[in-house]
Chain A
Amino acid sequence: MTPEAARDERTKETGSGEGPALPEDVRPRWTRKHLLGLEELSKDEIEVVLDTAERFREISTRSVKKVPALRGRVVVNLFFEASTRTRVSFGLAAQRLSADVVDFQKEGSSSEKGETLIDTAKNIEAMGVDVFVVRHEASGAPWNLARHLKTSVVNAGDGSHEHPTQGLLDIFTIRQAKGRVAGLEVAIVGDIAHSRVARSNIWGLLKLGAKVTVVGPSTLVPSRFRELGVAVSHDLDAVLPRVDVINMLRIQRERQAGMSFPSIREYSRLFGLTRARLKRAKPDISIMHPGPINRGVEIAPEVADGPSSLVLKQVESGLAVRMAVLYLVVGGKPAVRGAEDK
């Protein structure tokens, strides 16, 4: 079956009340044990996740929001960095798939506490775990874990490197709103240099055929990003009229201490999305923000809450995308693993 035919097949309604009727051919098109980053995924693999998420989204509209897909499986949220929405989103996603969920939170880097990340994870793994969802301040931490563990690893954000489920949910949201991704003009605005959300969005959007422009001050948007195939701009007003989607990243106030820009006020004046500035945009522009929002800094409150905003849609999409990811990475494997095979 060609990918196109497979997709048609998947979009047919099944009318089954048991749970999402998952397409038979998802398995051969998804063979990964981990989801670490979007750089390494193919276009086809990204579409498998989005299509699977499509089916799972429907579950959230039911009165009983649960399916037995991961019954008996254990998902551990291993968060070494503060996070509210990503952790809650993964937790709810796992619960809706009937998995058992354990939250593990630790402040600061593992090395400061004397135990290595690998030791921490191996100890938890020994209790029998199917998926680790990992958030860590160090770029590469999920890769390190994937190398040393037998369990599936899902990257929930590593340093400034990747945040693949955020990238996938942003793209899912765009596909929902616009009906397509290919050919769209997408701007990502903010601290691109330090943003894992930007990187995962760039990889995913480019693979699906969107045109991407990264926008922000020259100290936070290196011109070298052009080498990835995106356009680089330091002038938001020049970019606004041509974009279909604009993704406003959170500006981290602590970056200012690093002297990357003179003041929050100046940043806001140059790169903040205000109602006045929005008049330059296409009328059907979609506005996104991965949260949490600094209202009045990168985006004006009336814009964040306005009719063009997809911010809450993104949160909703996040649940469906994370259900799809958890389902795909553990699919087809024996339920009991861990302690006995060590």
Chain B
Amino acid sequence: MSERLLIEGGRVVDPARGVDGRLDVLIEDGQIRALAPGLGGKGEYARVIDARGLVVTPGLVDMHVHLREPGNEEEETIASGAAAAAAGGFTSVAAMPNTDPAVDNEAACEFQVNQGRRAAKARVYPIGAITKGRRGEELAEMGGMVRGGAVGFSDDGSPVRNAEVMRRGLLYAKMFDKVVIDHAEDPDLAGKGVMHAGLVSMILGLSGKSSASEEVMVARDITLAEITGARLHIAHVSTEGSVELVRGAKARGIKVTCEATPHHFSLTDEAVRSFDPNFKKNPPLRTGDDVQAILDGLKDGTVDAIASDHAPHSREAKEVEFQDAPNGVTGLETMVPVSYTRLVEERGLPLARLVELLSVGPAKILGIAGGSLAPGAPADVTVLDLETAHAIDVETFRSKSRNCPFRGWPVRGRAAFTLVGGRVVHELAAVAAPSAPQ
């Protein structure tokens, strides 16, 4: 006998299919079976989730996370990262290959996929390295990695310095119809910068990374995408110029997409005046003009996805002087509240657009299942509570790390329920009692 589950009485927002209304969602055998009003009285259900006052969306996708396994399991594991994803409302995450050793071969991809299955909290998709060891020299075995489960390629924090290697990487990835994700940064121009190069870095006497250090690489790689016809995705755009370059490239029909992070559209380099390493990021927090350009891009479609760039770091690693601290902030458990509060509540972005940026947008770029509640699709579903005011509390995080730049922020928006393949992997009450069986 098949197991049936009903999500009853919620506002269903499924931008991929243009759905926005009060509907029940019937899940059977781990798949979406039907969306319709008034399914409650019909038949037996193993469970009925009361979604009245809540918003039901396709399972959210975070296409840019760092899960630190293998190599830095004290900061995060695939299990703890997947639990953080589920708690944050994410049913799928794409893990960057800057592990130790790098994920640059088939076995490493399979390992991550298997660890994700064992964790059974979210679907974990590996992003493989473009080059062996992420050294930017020889192409890694992309064909094997695709067999191992890789959904895209990136050298992540180590941009491919040699333009010819990047050109070949794009061309080779195109053979598998996989996206190449670009951490766009010219290492020479970025130099030893530890924050955005601008008025604040000048006052603080900290060395800066100019906007140009990002933009020259975005421009180079757009040109390479154009000549190869490959799919290029610019990770974490942080400058006004980068947004403009992507906008122009899209207008010319080049296959380029980009993502933005909540910290880049919510914070500026002014935050660094505190010298708090929780505001140290690469690319760095930039200026108010850059924030505005990203907000405009989110609205007009230039930006295709919101991604967290979840980068857990231990307290010991971050509790040093700003210039010595590693880059990165956590994000899986703050992305929904910060994005909803900043974009929908404060800026009036339509809710359906936010859901698009968090689900079908990234799913399409990676070519993975999900992103929609179409009947027959895997029942990856997120049920959001967008009403309850709360404050970001790092002590509730499932992530092993606490390097969060949004501590104490007053927000609305959180995952009430997260379902992967029809299985409830997170429900809000469990947050208070982490040891409760689920």
A interface residues with partner B (beta carbon < 8 Å): 39, 109-111, 116-118, 136, 138-141, 143-144, 158-162, 193-194, 196, 199, 222, 224-225, 227-228
Contacts and interface: CB of A to CB of B under 8 A. Distances in A.
Nearest to A202: B203
Contact of B206 (A117, A143, A160, A228): A160
B368 interface: no
Contact of B324 (A111, A161, A227, A228): A111
A122 to B, nearest CB: 12
9 contacts: A116-B316, A117-B321, A159-B205, A161-B204, A161-B205, A199-B203, A199-B205, A224-B202, A225-B202
Given A199-B203, A224-B202, A117 B320 contact: yes
A109 B203 CA distance: 22
B323 A143 contact: no
B322 interface: yes
Contacts of A144: 275, 321-322
Nearest to B317: A111
The 4 A-B residue pairs with the shortest CB-CB distance in the complex, in nearest-first order = A160-B205, A140-B275, A138-B321, A161-B205
A139 B324 contact: no
Interface in B308-330: 316, 319-324
B275 A222 contact: no
Contact of A109 (B198, B202, B324): B324
Nearest to B325: A111
A258 to B, nearest CB: 9
A140 B203 contact: no
Nearest to A193: B202
A111 B275 contact: no
B320 A111 contact: yes
A158 B199 CA distance: 18
A228 B198 CA distance: 12
Interface in B284-343: 316, 319-324
Contacts of B205: 139, 158-162, 194, 196, 199
Nearest to B323: A138
Interface residues of B, number: 16
Contacts of B203: 39, 199, 228
Counting chain B CB atoms within 10 Å of each CB, which of A140, A160, A228 scores highest?
A: A140
A110 B274 CA distance: 20
B323 A159 contact: yes
B371 to A, nearest CB: 43
Interface in B190-233: 198-199, 202-206
Interface of B: 198-199, 202-206, 274-275, 316, 319-324
Nearest to B321: A138
A139 B320 contact: no
A228 B204 CA distance: 12
Given A139-B323, A159-B206, 6 more contacts: A118-B319, A138-B323, A139-B206, A144-B275, A144-B322, A193-B202
Contacts of B274: 143
A180 B274 CA distance: 34
A162 B321 CA distance: 15
A141 to B, nearest CB: 5
A157 to B, nearest CB: 10
B319 A116 contact: yes
B199 A109 contact: no
Contacts of B324: 109, 111, 138
Nearest to A119: B319
Contacts of A162: 205
A138 B199 contact: no
Nearest to B275: A140
Nearest to B198: A224
A140 B322 contact: yes
Contact of A139 (B199, B275, B316, B319): B275
Contacts of A222: 202
B197 to A, nearest CB: 9
B202 A139 contact: no
Contacts of B198: 224
Contact of A227 (B199, B319, B320): B199
A199 B324 CA distance: 22
B182 to A, nearest CB: 28
Counting chain A CB atoms within 10 Å of each CB, which of B205, B206, B319, B324 scores highest?
A: B205
B322 A138 contact: yes
A144 B323 CA distance: 12
Contact of B321 (A111, A224, A225): A111
A117 to B, nearest CB: 7
B320 A110 contact: yes
Nearest to A143: B275
Nearest to A195: B205
B204 A224 contact: no
A136 B203 CA distance: 17
A194 B322 CA distance: 17
A111 B324 CA distance: 7
A117 B320 CA distance: 7
B53 to A, nearest CB: 41
A139 B202 CA distance: 11
